[in-house]
Structure 1
Amino acid sequence: MGFLPAIKAFPRQRPLLFIVTVVLLWLGLYQLILPTSELLVGWLPVERQSHLGGALQFFLYDTPKVLLLLTGIVFVMGMINSWFTPERTRALLAKRGEGGANVLAALLGIVTPFCSCSAVPLFIGFVQAGVPLGVTFSFLISAPMVNEVALTLLFGLFGWKIALLYLGLGLSVAMTAGWVIGRLKMEAHLEEWVQQMPKVSADDPLQNVSLAERVDGGFGAVRQIVGKVWPYVVAGIAIGAGIHGYVPEAFMASFMGKEAWWSVPLAVLMGVPLYTNAAGIIPIVQALLAKGAALGTVLAFMMAVIALSLPEMIILRNVLKPRLIATFVVVVASGILLVGYIFNALL
């Protein structure tokens, strides 16, 4: 009877030993993914080299791999995020002017767990604290597009070079777009009720959080984030498996390759109506690339899905007038197009 309470108390009583144990277990499980997926496909009544066999192996390999990567990085970032609450983030940005604050806002977007569903309350909080409009947009672009989930999955699936290149170009889009919007002085295009909200203090609250509490924060992040996005992950991998197994390479290369100049704008237009996140879209990116699509074109599609999704525009319409939303879309889309063309030119 005393065994289960002891297990539950382990993270709080021995947090460092618990972290080491979890890391070793995670590494062991990661090494088993590939042989286990091949073994499972071998047990099924399908030919391994058939279309169905290839699709099943893709699904059985990528599903645990992506979920394991996602769980690991969300746990780590959940611990780190205890330093970056919305209040602290707001305070850090309110203390700086434009330019440097755009850079800081984009960097904070990487390590903060906010997404499009948080857009309106975060936006209001930043405006109330006196954070400049352009700085607010730098953060709101970076947070969903260049977050820890996207970078981890890109690193796990494509390697550190692609992940770092995406990081640099994604941050450039967030910083530049925010700076441009700030220079346009469009505060008058906030909805009136937002402009009339009283200003509030942006004090940085002191936090004294123990390692055990940070471990709890990691578990909380896993429950909240992985618990919310895993259906998107599985759906994305299922679509990717279908593409991997059944879509001919020549077909995909014909309209998402480097040769057609219009492939990048088309990819951006295709991405805007969709609604998913990095965890759901990256497995599709992996399958598209394997079928001959150009990296820049596919990443432009991914960035459009994450940063310019129609549902996020609908959410932001509560606080922004149409002209400001249109400006936001044009500036960010221009940055994404540039990223797509640069990737296609360099790789």
Structure 2
Amino acid sequence: MFVFEWLNNQLLKMEWLSNLVTLIVKNLFGLDVNSRIGGSIHFFIYDVIKIFILLSVLIFLISYIQSFFPPERTKKILGRFNGIWANILGALLGTVTPFCSCSSIPLFIGFTSAGLPIGVTFSFLISSPLVDLASVILLASIFNWKIAIAYVVVGLILAVIGGSVISKLKLEKYVEAFVFNNKMIEVEQEDLTKKDRMIFAKNQVWDIIKKVWLYILIGVGIGAAIHNWIPENVITAVLGQDKWYSVLIATFVGVPMYADIFGTLPIAEALVLKGVGIGTALSFMMGVTALSLPSMIMLKKVVKTKLLGIFVGIVTIGIIIIGYVFNAFGYLLL
């Protein structure tokens, strides 16, 4: 147990990095980390470096594994299952795809055009940006493993239920016709060498970092401001755990925004440190990542308004319920 705790603190929470940044802030900038400016600089440098290190390592490992599962093979695996088991598998496969919601939509089109039920593809579409493995590890590094695991469980449940409801409603007629006519090209998957997979994983790291670096910097900057400059009583007056409407506000504020989950994690961290309920912070984070405005605009190109509205409604209600559940029982996880 001691060894696990030490590894968790040093490898995930990176206490060594926090101590190093403390020395840098003190000796290089001549500031006390307990002051507002010093604390903000420490929060920013420490979180940015930690997130980029963990993100790079995790995306590399996940992408290496993902190189064994190209879209054609993934489609064949999903095609072997029916009913709720297909939704569960679709949701689980979404967790090993390190994509934002916008990047997941081309795969959604490919899977649907390949003949997979739309409910399965929606389960994939919900889980992919919401509960990828990298975000789980980062959640554990910021909060703890109990919260990270609970987040994965409820995220997968939301993806499975959302996809299953859409399947039961028989909404295929609300998918644009060109999606079904745009058949995937079946190609023989070449056997990749270990070197090829390493190159693929490295390129994935670079591609994803290029997409999310700005959101990480913005998210950490907002988190530093919340943590060190906005008075706790101001935040709790609006989003305090005792406010019944805090989850609703956090969810609806998050939905129209666009940021990667890696950029919203520092904001969630700062909110919790200021006394905001864990469920409220996670609702904001889930709203931003699962229902970002750009991804909804892209999805509107391939589905009709009724299906889009049902999808947004199901996910929004699910996020709100998850937020209230975490606020009610989150103390058991902290």
SS class of match (2:67): helix
**Mapped partners of 1:331, 1:201: distance in 2:** 32
Q: How much does 1:27 deviate?
A: 5.9
Aligned-residue sequence identity (percent) comes to 43
Choose the corresponding residue for 1:80, options 36, 47, 65: 65
Distance 1:199 1:215, change over 3 A: closer
SS in 2 for 1:99: helix
Q: Is the 8 A contact 1:42 1:48 kept in 2?
A: yes
Q: Distance in 1 between matches of 2:66 and 2:36?
A: 43
- Tell me if the contact between 1:76 and 1:218 (Cα under 8 Å) persists in the aligned partners: yes
Alignment partner, residue 35 of structure 1: 19
Structure label with greater radius of gyration: 1
Aligned to 2:6: none
Coordinate RMSD, CA, aligned: 2.1
Which residue is 2:327 aligned to? Answer: 344
After superposition, where does 1:133-282 map in structure 2 within 5 Å? Answer: 133-195=118-180, 197=181, 205-206=188-189, 208-282=191-265
Corresponding letter in the other structure for 1:264: V
Determine the structure 2 residue equivalent to 1:132. 117
Whole-Å separation in 2 of the counterparts to 1:322 and 1:272: 17
Which position in structure 2 is the counterpart of 1:17? Answer: none
The answer on whether the counterparts of 1:79 and 1:218 sit within 8 Å (CA) in structure 2 is: yes
CA distance in 1, matches of 2:45, 2:158: 35
Q: Distance in 2 between matches of 1:201 and 1:59?
A: 45
Given that residues 102 and 138 in structure 1 are in contact (C-alpha distance below 8 angstroms), is that contact kept between their aligned partners in structure 2? yes
| Distance change in 2, residues 1:72/1:119 (3 Å) | closer
Query: How many angstroms apart in 2 are the aligned matches of 1:258 and 1:108?
Result: 34
Stretch moving more, 96-105 or 110-119: 110-119
Please tell me whether residue 123 in structure 1 is matched to residue 108 in structure 2.
yes
Per-residue displacement from partner, 1:291-319 (whole Å, max 9, x unpaired)? 11100011011000000111111000111
| Separation (CA, whole Å) in 2 of partners of 1:215 and 1:345 | 44
Partner of 1:283 in structure 2?
Answer: 266
Say which is worse superposed, 142-151 or 47-56, in terms of deviation. 47-56
Partner SS for 1:275: coil
1:76 to 1:294, Cα distance in 2 relative to 1, 3 A: same
- With normalisation by structure 1, the TM-score equals 0.87
Q: Cα distance 1:202–1:333, how it changes in 2: closer, same or farther (>3 A)?
A: farther
TM-score (norm 2): 0.90
Q: What CA distance in whole angstroms lies between the structure 2 residues aligned with 1:198 and 1:149?
A: 31
> 1:77/1:200 Cα in 2 relative to 1: closer, same or farther (>3 Å)?
closer
- Tell me the residue number matched to 1:99: 84
- Are 1:120 and 1:318, in contact at CA under 8 Å, matched by a contact in 2? no
How far, CA to CA, are the matches of 2:264 and 2:244 in structure 1? 23
Equivalent in the alignment of 2:291:
308
Does the aligned pair in 2 maintain the 1:129–1:201 contact within 8 Å?
no
Query: Which residues in structure 2 correspond to 1:44-63 (within 5 Å)?
Result: 44-63=29-48
Whether the 8 Å contact between 1:276 and 1:305 is mirrored in structure 2 is: yes
| Structure 2 runs not aligned, ≥5 long | 1-9
Does the 8 A contact of 1:98 with 1:134 survive in 2?
A: no
- Other-structure match for 1:7: none
User: 1:345 Cα shift?
Assistant: 1.0
Letter in 2 for 1:81: Q
Taking the aligned partners of 1:151 and 1:345, their CA distance within structure 2 comes to 21
Q: Contact 1:78 / 1:220 at 8 angstroms: preserved in 2?
A: no
Quote the residue 1:320 is aligned against.
303
